[in-house]
Amino acid sequence: MITELFRIPADSILLDGSYNLALVLLSLLIAILSSAAALVSVELSRQNPLRWQQQLGLLAGSISLGIGIWSMHFIGMLAFRLCTPVDYAANITLLSLLPSVLASWVALNLLQREQIKALQLISGGVLVGAGIGTMHYSGMAAMQMAVQLRYDPGYFALSIVVAIIMATLALWIRFGVQSWQNRLPSWQLNLLSGIVMGLAISAMHYTGMLAARFVAPAGFTASDDVANSQHMALIVTSVSVLVTLLVLLLQAVMKFYHAKQSLNRSEQQFRSLIQNIPGAAYRCLPDQHWSMLFISAAVESLCGYPAKDFLLPSPRQNWAALILPEDQPLVSAINHQQTYHLEYRIRHRDGSVRWMLEHGDTLRDEQGNLIALDGFIMDITERREMEEQLRLAKQQAEQAAEVKTTFLANMSHEIRTPLNAVIGFTELLRENPNTPEAPRYLATVQQSAKALLVLLNDILDSAKLEKGKLELEQTDFNLTELLDNVVSTLWVEARNKQLELKLILDPKLKPYYFGAADRLRQVLLNLLGNAIKFTERGTVTLEVSTSASGLQIAIRDTGIGIAPERLSRIFDPFTQADASMSRRFGGTGLGTTISKQLVELMGGALTASSVPGEGSCFTVSLPLTAGKASTQISSPQQLPPLQLIIADDIEQNLDLLTAILERDQHQVRRARNGAEVLQLLTEQTPDLVLMDIQMPVMDGLTACKQRRANEQQQGLAKVPIIALTASAFAEDREAVFAAGMDGFATKPIDISLLFAEIARVLQLPLSPRAATPAAASMPSQLLDSDHGSALWGSEAAHRRELQRFAAGPLQHLCEDLLTAESEQNFSRLLQQSHAYKGICGNLALPALSTACANLEHVLQQQQPQLIQPRLRQLCEVASQTCKAISALQSDIEPATAEVPTQSLATLLQVLDQQLQNFGYQDALLAQLAPFATGRWHLAVSTIVQHTEDFDFNNARKQIAALLPQLREQDD
């Protein structure tokens, strides 16, 4: 069958045909346009994100190209003219479309690739060429005509070869021109490739036509083809173009769809970005209102107004109106800038002021005119507040550094002065220990050392207060006695400066209050001492009155005053009224700071007011409640006879203690300093040592520490030691126990409390002692025999002291007072009345002591009209007292007491590690607290005290000493 197509009889008449040039050109155009459209379709399909969408685009392009190739072939057939009518079988003609579509599918799949290998190119060219050839020859097989269609084998084969070569060339050309992408736009590359591919398709068709042979049958008569070829070609062309356009339209719609999706995604990302950044983006007109063309929703978080309130065409709010007037000029300057960076303030909807940071660009037209502003606004209020805090912190740090530098300079002066005395006089004593001036040198050294101790205590108090480690000891106290003690302490200093020191008391004051009496005394001494120090002439007044919350204490002076700029910082550490004051008056500037901290710790307030050159007033308000008189043991208790050593540097104190103790048959040996105590302890081992804390040569704490060290090193028996001190501060008690002492008793001596402490330390029972009956003839309002006997140890000892007083000071009492009154020397009169009040109180002369107190009171209250009546009353009582004492006769009698102390090695080892790194945790000290009352209470208390005082070296030494004892106990 197939061979019949290539057999042409030798006697056959072959017919020649001709071509309609217009239709030929139309076929070429159809091939080129279809190829170019197919290449555009490939390019568009590449842009689809999903593979099925790419394949759908390729299928549409394949159909379009296949119809284009088929249309080119069909129009090319219509362009051929034979001398016989030609018709086409519709079914075969339509079926011939399938190979062209398949060939197009193969071609477009290859063209979609970014790169192609040689084998893929050749196999693709063979498939595409074979497909086009199949379409061509199946299309020619659809011709129905009177003549027979035969093919020249050579040209037939040539047409297939040409089809394959031209298909391969067309594919290669497409990939070859990709190297021109950087020089030619995409549409030009597609057009160039389409021309090459269209010409290749046409070349295959017309080479195949060249192989066709039309054999006329016998009796053939030529006739014209009456078919309207041009009309048919127009229809085919229209259909082909329509399909191509539909495919391109489909691809364009898909591209638009994907572009819109991409745009939506980008817009969504942009909106999400704009909404999530901490600020608002905007575009506005460069008018005075900053009319917004766009502003993001985040603007509401900046100013409190929603974005819609700012947007044109009908804004209800404008951004410019929110900017504070002071910052408007800064914002207006952006009209002259290309880019701008601004920081300004706005008024928020809630009324608060917010800081804004703005970055932006100006948009200008071709003439350089400003047409819009694009920018970004962010709330930087927190940053500005942090910057302000940093600035303040820097200023405070600089001020603190300046103040501390000044303080160190002042402190070096304050420390150097007493140190020079200590070093100088000890050097003199070392060179000449037997000099007659030795006592004076030692007194100077002691006074200088005490001054250093006061200085260091102030610094330590300040550190404890800052750290919150200072605790208050609340007790009932006599306010009048406390104030009297404070005024008496500073009275001499005021007199030496020729200042008038006044005490004004509100009649509504209660006699007793409940509070931290020791700390109140410290505050008053600080403030009143400062007032005296900084007052050159005039008056210093201490006025105490009641208030709604408790007490109000005012300290007024007529001194130099405080400048307003320094008044606000007067309670800062190391600050004085003037930078030069420390050199002029001395001091560290810690007094007012400690006083304020103590008052606030007591729940009160300390304020200051001042007029430079006129004076200052410091006011203390304290929420104190009324207290009650402290109950004391009225009759002393008796101890079994003991061997005792007593130590004090004041002879009168030694006499009083000796009388009290020997009255109860105790054997007493006396020492005047710690060194003498240690010497006596080498000679005998007493039952107990009563030792003052502050003594020359060697103080009581040092002596106790030395004794404890000797006991540990030499295996000596432990001697109980009780401290005698005039200080009632809790930290002084702690220092006593830290030094290794076993008890604590205060001065002046309270016999009952002293005996109770001795009994506690020695674990002895106390037995009651019958009171000595008083003389029947003794007037009770003049002499308090019971109290005097208890104080001096016996009625006889009391009588001896009374007779000594009556023979001396009492004889001159009225004379001295009347002389001072006649000379109008009220300061001397006040001094003498105060001194005699104390002496009479110690001698249990209540009537005379009260008379002296009454005179002192009217002098303090500046009531001159009452001075003479009070003097007359005092002299009358003095005369009666003298007579009562003269009727007495002498007698003798005696009285005296001590106590005690668990395993904590792990806690101490942890603390030692922390102290080694120069720090400690408060929680660890809290865990040690329960051990401070057991067997090891002295050692633990000492360790805690050293730690809280930041004396880490001594704390570690105490730990090292205690740990072996704990291990021995565990063993």
Q: Are residues 114 and 199 in the same domain?
A: yes
DSSP string, 714-755: HTPPPPPEEEEES---HHHHHHHHHTT--EEEESS--HHHHH
243 domain-assigned: no
Single residue among 595, 626, 657 that ends a domain in this structure: 626
How many separate domains does the chain show? 7
Q: Are strands 500-505 and 539-546 parallel, antiparallel or unpaired?
A: parallel
Q: Which residues pair with 86 in a beta bridge?
A: 145
Looking at residue 334, the DSSP 8-state letter turns out to be: G
**pLDDT of 354 above 90:** yes
pLDDT at position 78? 78
pLDDT at position 309? 92
486 domain-assigned: yes
Structure tokens at 921: 């945790």
Other Cβ atoms within 10 Å of 758 Cβ, number? 29
What is the band of 768 on the pLDDT scale with cuts at 50, 70, 90? low
Place of tokens 């490939």: 42
Single residue among 379, 395, 410 that ends a domain in this structure: 379
Q: Are residues 44 and 191 in the same domain?
A: yes
pLDDT at position 396? 84
What is the band of 580 on the pLDDT scale with cuts at 50, 70, 90? very low
Determine the residue type at 669.
R
What is the band of 114 on the pLDDT scale with cuts at 50, 70, 90? low
Q: Are residues 563 and 590 in the same domain?
A: yes
Q: How far apart are CA 102 and CA 70, in angstroms?
A: 12
Q: Are residues 55 and 193 in the same domain?
A: yes
Q: Are residues 578 and 431 in the same domain?
A: no
Under 8 Å between Cβ of 642 and 618: no
Structure tokens at 575: 């600050």
Residue 954 to residues 192, 413, 452, 743, 963, Cα–Cα distance (Å): 99, 27, 20, 22, 14
Region 734-756: what's the mean pLDDT? 82
Backbone angles phi, psi at 583, to 5 degrees: -75, -35
Q: What is the pLDDT of residues 703-714, one digit of tens each?
A: 999 999 999 999
Single residue among 402, 437, 465 that ends a domain in this structure: 465
Q: Are residues 882 and 753 in the same domain?
A: no
What is the band of 775 on the pLDDT scale with cuts at 50, 70, 90? very low
What is the band of 50 on the pLDDT scale with cuts at 50, 70, 90? low
779 domain-assigned: no
**pLDDT of 319 above 80:** yes
128: Cβ–Cβ under 8 A, 6 or more apart, which residues?
Answer: 103, 106, 107, 164, 167, 168, 170, 171
Residues of the chain above pLDDT 90, percent = 13
pLDDT at position 605? 92
- CATH code (residue 657): 3.40.50.2300
Q: How far apart are CA 480 and CA 494, in angstroms?
A: 20
Higher per-residue pLDDT: 489 or 398: 398
- Let me know how many helices (H) and strands (E) the chain has, helices first: 33, 27
What is the band of 782 on the pLDDT scale with cuts at 50, 70, 90? confident
Q: What is the pLDDT of residues 256-290, one digit of tens each?
A: 777 787 788 887 887 777 777 778 888 988 888 88
Average pLDDT, the chain: 77
Q: What is the pLDDT of residues 375-420, one digit of tens each?
A: 889 999 999 999 999 999 998 888 777 767 766 666 665 677 677 7
Return the SS3 of 604.
coil
Select from 462, 546, 484, 473 the least CA-distant residue to 515. Answer: 473
**pLDDT of 456 above 60:** yes
Region 559-577: what's the mean pLDDT? 71
Under 8 Å between Cβ of 954 and 960: no
**pLDDT of 347 above 90:** yes
- CATH code (residue 552): 3.30.565.10
Torsional sign, CA 303, 304, 310, 316:
negative
Structural domain of residue 832, as residue ranges? 785-886
95 domain-assigned: yes
Q: Is 118 left (phi over 0), alpha (psi -120 to 50) or beta?
A: alpha
Q: Are residues 727 and 755 in the same domain?
A: yes
Looking at residue 666, the DSSP 8-state letter turns out to be: -
Q: Is the peptide bond before 748 cis (omega within 30 degrees of 0)?
A: yes
What is the band of 721 on the pLDDT scale with cuts at 50, 70, 90? very high
Other Cβ atoms within 10 Å of 744 Cβ, number? 20
Q: What is the pLDDT of residues 499-555, one digit of tens each?
A: 888 888 888 888 889 998 888 888 888 888 888 888 888 999 999 999 888 899 999
Q: Are residues 425 and 361 in the same domain?
A: no
**pLDDT of 188 above 90:** no
Region 606-614: what's the mean pLDDT? 89
271 domain-assigned: no
Other Cβ atoms within 10 Å of 220 Cβ, number? 15
Q: Are residues 41 and 81 in the same domain?
A: yes
- CATH code (residue 318): 3.30.450.20
838 domain-assigned: yes
Structure tokens at 6: 């290539």
Please work out, in degrees rounded to the nearest 5, the angle formed at the alpha carbon of residue 784 by the alpha carbons of 781 and 785: 135
pLDDT at position 348? 93
Residue 237 to residues 69, 75, 97, Cα–Cα distance (Å): 11, 8, 15
Q: Are residues 568 and 615 in the same domain?
A: yes
pLDDT at position 645? 95
Under 8 Å between Cβ of 464 and 503: no
Q: Which of 102-111, 470-479, 589-598, 930-939 has the lowest mean pLDDT?
A: 930-939
Q: Virtual CA dihedral for 936, 937, 943, 949, nearest 10 degrees?
A: 180
262 domain-assigned: no
Q: How far apart are CA 530 and CA 586, in angstroms?
A: 10
Q: How far apart are CA 386 and CA 438, in angstroms?
A: 63
pLDDT at position 597? 84
Higher per-residue pLDDT: 416 or 891: 416
Select from 812, 968, 792, 952 the least CA-distant residue to 888. Answer: 792
Return the SS3 of 502.
strand
- CATH code (residue 846): 1.20.120.160
Higher per-residue pLDDT: 807 or 881: 881
Q: Are residues 136 and 37 in the same domain?
A: yes
267 domain-assigned: no
Higher per-residue pLDDT: 847 or 208: 847
Q: How far apart are CA 904 and CA 161, in angstroms?
A: 108
pLDDT at position 547? 87
Q: Are residues 419 and 477 in the same domain?
A: no
Structure tokens at 874: 């005092």
Q: Is 231 left (phi over 0), alpha (psi -120 to 50) or beta?
A: alpha
**pLDDT of 676 above 90:** yes
